[in-house]
Structure 1
Amino acid sequence: MAEERRSHLVVFTGSGISAESGIQTFRASDGLWADHPIEAVATPEAWRRDPRRVLEFYNTRRAQVRRARPNAAHKALAELEKRGFRVSIITQNIDDLHERAGSRNVLHLHGEILKARSTVDARMQYRLPRGGIELGDICDKGSQLRPDVVWFGESVPHFAEACEIVGEADLLLVVGTSLAVMPAASLLDHAPMEAPCVLVDPEAERLSPPGVARICQTAGKGVPQLVRHWQREGRLWMPETLAG
Structure 2
Amino acid sequence: MKFFATFGLLEDIRAAIQTAFVPTLVAILRDPILVFRPHEVSRIFMAYVWRLFGDGVDGNARPVKEELLPANCYGVVLDIGAGHGHTALYLDHTKVTKYVALEPNVLMHPEIRITAAKKGFTEEAGTLLILPYGAEQISLIASALGGAHAVDTLVSILSLCSIPDPEQTLRRLVNDALKPGGTLLFYEHVLSPREDVARWQRFWAPVWVYIMDGCRIDRPTHVWIEKIDAWAEGSVWGKEGEPEEHLFWHRVGRYVKKDD
* TM-score > 0.5, shorter chain as reference: no
| TM-score, normalisation: structure 1 | 0.42
TM-score by structure 2 length?
A: 0.40
With a CA cutoff of 8 Å and minimum separation of 6, indicate the structure with the bigger relative contact order. Answer: 1
Per residue, is there more helix in 1 or in 2? 2
